Structure 1
């Protein structure tokens, strides 16, 4: 499944994928740790990386876990090709920009962070005494965890995701009910978007754990895909139903991903992101949906025609009262399509009312 959440650090995820369990690179790193040896690996042999290398020797040999563990017995850094298929150099001294800030104290980890930040390349460091493996990429640091502990954390996160998903479903069902009755408020809409963003954030963290777990995450992947299925499309339609003309749903969801957790939980801040900055003092005010979310449930209805229908009637309430002739007056809507739209809207209304009782 493809995740569109904008908060993910893709460079870090790519680096984690390269060192996940089951990969040759992780096998080599684990051998180094088991041998109580340290290692500093730069996962790029671009000219910028080679320009800060001093001393050492040229290897230019196919990568293998055995070669890596043997070369790590020397103190210097090891340069591995971008695709991981070759060991370029070994026992080199790295001279990164000393002005690059770092929070690390150990020499190996400090050098690793400075190289990663200054050259924007993935770097892995393994400490000799503690056996701690750190990955630096995309301006972030992530300490690799033992598989069992990471699986436990991921399962706890899945339980959290399930709770948030239940709250989101309840919010969407409530929004549908008030939309049918034409009494939706800004608070109803904001609550759905807010819960959707929290689902995105938890799912995003689980996705990163799955990448880090590699071959050990098959069951987690199935569980996440089942929970996360179709959330993006549903939220996009909720947002699109209430967005002003000068902002798209995609822009709004991207802006939401950049908020802090505290701001996401603030209903008024979320209302601002939805383009309702002038309305956020009154979250109880009634708002009217365009009806796009309901129209999406009409089978074989083209997206452009759905937009044309929504724009023609200017709101769900008028669309619900439309006759077949009214619907057929929209360009591209024939009698069969008009009947399908009307039947779908009627079915949604009736099922929603029945669910309430």
Structure 2
């Protein structure tokens, strides 16, 4: 069998997009499942040809009906790397039997070994259990029923809603503390904790949305509402209080137990005790005004911190800027 160019799937997320409900490939898979058939579908790359035997070349445009009809034969089906063509059908897969597999069924065991040996994307459909499993490199991802995904996503959004409520309360408190010079390290870590938790929860929901396809439109809309502005606030806080541009990635790459500990997060970002006072530069405060970004940069470069910015004798603030600053201060106080 001829080899093809390398597969372009850098992440299993791309595969989830391609087999989400409403896509042609998912319709074909649903036909197979509903007809109580099984199947192995492999996306071609430059190593797949090394572990195949037999079968026949079809090289036709992919359609759900064509894939379904070809799945009635026992062998695997090979798709082109863009999944727009059916290249081969009734193919025997012969991966290295020494490659470890946790699967018990012959079809799934072959699918897992092919993915590990070639790095290809493999879709295994169980005839008996009606389960769909994706294999990609060393990863295994069982697809769930739409109803199950929808239930989990809805429950997760309820948790996210509560986290967003907590985040907004902490932000309102931080606003007040900043203009009064009362900010402590623990106030910053508390806000960043909630922001990171929201980010991690939303990534779980995002994976569900991808898997739901067209069924996930309402979930997607609600997710955008609940996460709106969180990342911006987080980045402005980091800009205000930390010196390293890598602080954000340091949080993202930390284990959850370290994120949930104020003391550990304080050491990670500030190398200070949580009760120590800390002063913001003023980026986040000034972002709430209508002052142009170039002017904000100029003010902070000369004033250094929010206390100098709020000083009535601030010589770097003209009457318009002072009016904008006073307006934001008033809004913050009224929300308390």
Q: In 2, distance between residues paired with 1:133 and 1:341?
A: 60
Count of equivalent residues? 328
1:150 corresponds to: 149
Q: In terms of mean alpha carbon deviation, does 180-189 or 58-67 score higher? A: 58-67
**Contact kept in structure 1, 2:308 and 2:314, CA below 8 Å:** no
CA–CA separation in structure 2 for the residues paired with 1:272 and 1:102: 42
Aligned counterpart for 1:270 among listed residues 252, 265, 273: 265
Correspondence 1:98-113 to 2 at 5 A:
98=97, 100-113=99-112
Query: Does residue 254 of structure 1 match 2:249?
Result: yes
Preserved contact between residue 77 and residue 91 of structure 1 (Cα < 8 Å):
yes
Q: How far off its partner does 1:95 sit?
A: 3.2
* Aligned-residue CA RMSD (Å): 2.0
Contact 1:15 1:137 in 2 (8 A): no
In the superposition, relative to structure 1, how do residues 96 and 310 fare at CA in structure 2: closer, same or farther (>3 Å)?
Answer: farther
Matched, 1:309 2:284: no
Secondary structure of the structure 2 residue equivalent to 1:41: strand
CA contact (8 A) 2:288 2:328 kept: no
SS, match of residue 59 in structure 1:
strand
- 1:221-300 equivalences under 5 Å are 221-244=220-243, 247-248=244-245, 251-274=246-269, 276=270, 278-279=271-272, 282-299=273-290
2:25 aligns with 25
Work out the CA distance in 1 between the residues paired with 2:218 and 2:275: 43
Q: How far has the Cα of 1:162 moved from its partner?
A: 0.5
Structure 2: runs of 5+ lacking an equivalent: 1-8
Q: For residue 27 of structure 1, report the CA deviation from its aligned partner.
A: 0.6
Residue 46 of structure 1: how far off its partner (Å): 2.3
Q: Distance in 1 between matches of 2:195 and 2:283?
A: 18
Deviates more, 1:93-102 or 1:318-327: 93-102
CA distance in 2, matches of 1:121, 1:263: 36
Aligned-partner Cα distance in 1 for 2:80–2:204: 28
Contact 2:289–2:328 (CA under 8 A) maintained in structure 1: no
Q: Distance in 2 between matches of 1:269 and 1:75?
A: 56
Query: By how many angstroms is 1:243 displaced?
Result: 0.6
The residue correspondences of 1:44-83 to structure 2 (distance < 5 A) are 45-83=44-82
Q: Deviations over 1:23-49 (max 9, x none)?
A: 110011111111211111112x22222
Deviations 1:261-295, CA, capped at 9 Å, x for gaps? 22221222322442x2x31xx20110000100011
What is the CA–CA distance in structure 1 between the aligned matches of 2:36 and 2:53, rounded to whole Å?
A: 25
In 2, are the aligned partners of 1:12 and 1:138 still within 8 Å (CA)? Answer: no
- What do the CA deviations read for 1:179-232 (whole angstroms, capped 9, x no partner)? 111110100000111100000011111111111011111111211111111221
Aligned to 1:195, the other structure's residue is in SS state helix
Question: Relative to structure 1, is the Cα distance of residues 258 and 26 closer, same or farther in structure 2, using a 3 angstrom cutoff?
Answer: same
Q: What is the aligned partner in structure 2 of residue 332 from structure 1?
A: none
CA distance in 1: counterparts of 2:307 and 2:98, whole angstroms: 62
Deviation at 1:259? 2.3
Shift in CA distance, 259/138, structure 1 to aligned 2, threshold 3 Å: farther
Structure 1 unaligned runs (5+)?
A: 1-8, 328-337
Three-state SS of the structure 1 residue aligned to 2:120 is coil
1:145 deviates by 1.4
TM-score, normalisation: structure 1: 0.86
Q: Could you say what secondary structure the match of 2:86 adopts?
A: strand
Counterpart mapping for 1:140-179 below 5 A:
140-179=139-178
Q: Shift of the alpha carbon at 1:128?
A: 1.2
- What corresponds to 1:200 in structure 2? 199
1-structure distance, mates of 2:16, 2:208: 9
Contact kept? 1:42, 1:121, Cα under 8 Å: yes
Output one character per residue of 1:51-77: Cα deviation in whole Å (capped at 9) or x when no partner.
322221111111111221222122222
| 1:117-137 CA-partner distances (Å, limit 9, x unpaired) | 343332211111000101223
SS of the counterpart of 2:144?
A: coil
The residue matched to 1:47 in structure 2 has which SS? coil
In structure 2, what is the equivalent of residue 191 of structure 1?
Answer: 190
